[in-house]
Amino acid sequence: MVLEKSFAEKEQAYNPYQVAVEQLERVAEIMKLDPSIVEILKHPKRVVTVAIPVRMDDGTVRVFVGYRSQHNDALGPFKGGVRFHPNVTLDEVKALSMWMTWKCAVAGLPYGGGKGGVVVDPHKLSKAELERLSRGYFSAIANVVGPYQDIPAPDVYTDAQVMSWFMDEYSKIKGYNVFGVVTGKPVAIGGSLGRDTATARGLSFVVEEAAKKLRINLKESSVAIQGYGNAGSYTHMFLEKLGAKVVAVSDSKGGIYSAQGLSYKDVMEHKKKTGSVVGFKGAKTITNDELLTLDVDILVPAALENQITQNNAAKVKARLVVEAANGPTTPEADDILYSEGVTVIPDILANSGGVTTSYLEWVQNIQGYYWSAEKVDETLKEMMVRAFRAVWETTQKYSVDMRKGAYIYAVGRVVEAMKLRGWI
Ligand code: GLU
């Protein structure tokens, strides 16, 4: 007898690393890649696990667990963010580091892929505790990072302040300023203009390109955004500027819906005052799950992994799904969406504006020469449009969905570099 697994069991069974490997295997088959290459690419080159003792404000000591996964550096130093989240696992960080390898390759950056994480709910720490944890984590991984080795950046629940502490700690260890060891820093200490809004800015360029190809009139389009962190909130701002109507947004506490549309400025003000988008005047409260299946033209998952799955993919009504989050769609859901005619712009393309602007920040750091906001914006646009077109062409050429198209393009670049370097 086959027992149907409960929803909770299915959720538990989800493993982001297995998803990342499955995505790789799917395109390896299409590309007819040598199995030994696939075997190399399945495994991160190095994974570091650290224990971080932190003196809490009450005098006790708590030990936090942190990771840094360095997946592949054939194209250049490892690159990728660090997340502080209570549900961080080693397999999650490994998956995210592999996704960074493909993302940097899609974006045309001279970088490989890395990712870090600390198992912690940063909202439960005081600012002083958060600083001690950030410094402790960075000093624990200091010997495996560096501007030509591995360059961390912000991710879920880390920000420019955390990057300042990372950079300062590393500079203290070295004995001189090393701005280029971390990106996403505040502008006052080596950050780039435009880095804070870059993920959403890049996403808006990609949406404009996709709209042209798919003949979507953005001025008549409705949008739902799941997640209201850096990527989600600024996506609201930029898509509103393009004339789209954002009818639903959400955060970890729940979602809001208004058929008339939600103003970015007003929702942000409410979130700043109350700590959540929930309770916004004139909007109906909805759940995060309801948001995903709303009758909208464009759906932007901008929270965490594993949101569009085989359980809800058939109910998605949007024509275009744009992944601001990393890994929100499972491979089974990809197949369902593709068969229903839904276009998914994959994370490794859609949210690559963040790491692309990190690259521009790093270039400015190592040259010691800083750019205007206009120059950053123009360069980002040029690079995003180029990446979109390359992925679109590959997708057409192989008659596949856009994730596979992006993977074929990215994996091809990484494998070429590995072959040239004599790794295989
Ligand atoms: N954490 C972001 C990402 O997932 C940015 C990484 C970076 O700037 O290095 O793409």
381 assigned ligand-binding residue? no
Q: Are residues 285 and 330 in the same domain?
A: yes
Q: Has residue 20 been placed in a domain?
A: no
pLDDT digits (tens, 9 = 90+) for 313-324: 999 999 999 999
3-state class percentages of the chain: helix first, strand second, coil last, to nearest 5: 50, 15, 30
For ligand 1, atom 10, the nearest C-alpha belongs to 355
CA of 131 to the centre of ligand 1 (A): 21
Has residue 370 been placed in a domain?
Answer: no
Its domain, for residue 318, covers: 198-341
- Residue 61 in contact with residue 54, Cβ under 8 Å? yes
How far, in Å, are 66, 124, 220, 376 from residue 120 at the CA level? 9, 8, 42, 33
- Would residue 405 count as lying in a domain? no
Which atom of ligand 1 lies nearest, measured to the CA of 351? 10
Contact 108, 386 (CB under 8 A): yes
Bridge-partner residues for 54, per DSSP?
A: 62
Q: Is the pTM of this model over 0.75?
A: yes
Beta bridge partners of 62: 54
262 in the same domain as 142: no
Mean pLDDT of 400-423: 98
Pairing of strands 150-154, 78-85: parallel
Q: Is residue 386 part of a domain?
A: no
Is 87 annotated as ligand-binding? Answer: no
Are residues 257 and 204 located together in one domain of the fold?
yes
Average pLDDT, the chain: 96
Q: Which residues contact 369 (CB under 8 A, 6 or more apart)?
A: none
State in Å, rounded, how far the first CA of the chain is from the last one: 46
Instruction: Establish if 349 belongs to a structural domain.
Output: no
**Residue 302 falls within a domain, yes or no?**
yes
Give the domain CATH number at 310. 3.40.50.720
Please indicate, yes or no, whether residues 146 and 219 belong to a single structural domain of this protein: no
The tally of domains found in the chain comes to 2
Is the domain of 203 the same as that of 124?
no
Is position 13 within any domain? no
Q: Which residues are catalytic?
A: 115
For the segment 288-322, what is each residue's pLDDT rounded down to a tens digit? Answer: 999 999 999 999 999 999 999 999 999 999 999 99
Q: 80 CB less than 6 Å from ligand 1?
A: yes
Site to substitute for ligand 1 among 69, 358, 362, most atoms within 8 A of C-beta: 358
Same domain for 49 and 165, yes or no, is: yes
- 241/129 same-domain check: no
Task: Check the annotation: does 288 bind a ligand.
Answer: no
Q: How many CB atoms lie within 10 A of CB 369?
A: 8
Among candidate residues 319, 341, 363, the one where a domain is terminated? 341
Looking at residue 12, its pLDDT comes to: 56
Task: Indicate if 173 and 207 belong to the same structural domain.
Answer: no
Confidence of residue 261 (pLDDT cuts 50, 70, 90): very high
Domain boundary (310, 341, 372) is at: 341
Q: How confident is the model at residue 2 (pLDDT cuts 50, 70, 90)?
A: very low
Same domain, 155 and 51: yes
Give distance in angstroms: CA of 81 to centre of ligand 1.
5
- My answer on whether 234 and 136 are in the same domain is no
Is residue 356 domain-resident?
no
Q: Which residue's C-alpha comes closest to atom 8 of ligand 1?
A: 355
- Tell me what the mean pLDDT of segment 378-386 comes to: 98
The reported pLDDT for the residue numbered 4 is 44
Question: Which pLDDT score is estimated for 9?
Answer: 52
pLDDT (tens digit, 9 = 90+) per residue, 191-233?
A: 999 999 999 999 999 999 999 999 999 999 999 999 999 999 9
Please tell me whether residues 203 and 336 are part of one structural domain.
yes
Structure confidence at residue 13 (pLDDT): 77
Give 63-110 pLDDT, tens digit per residue: 999 999 999 999 999 999 999 999 999 999 999 999 999 999 999 999
Asked whether 101 lines ligand 1 (CB < 6 A), one says no
Residues 202 and 142 in one domain: no
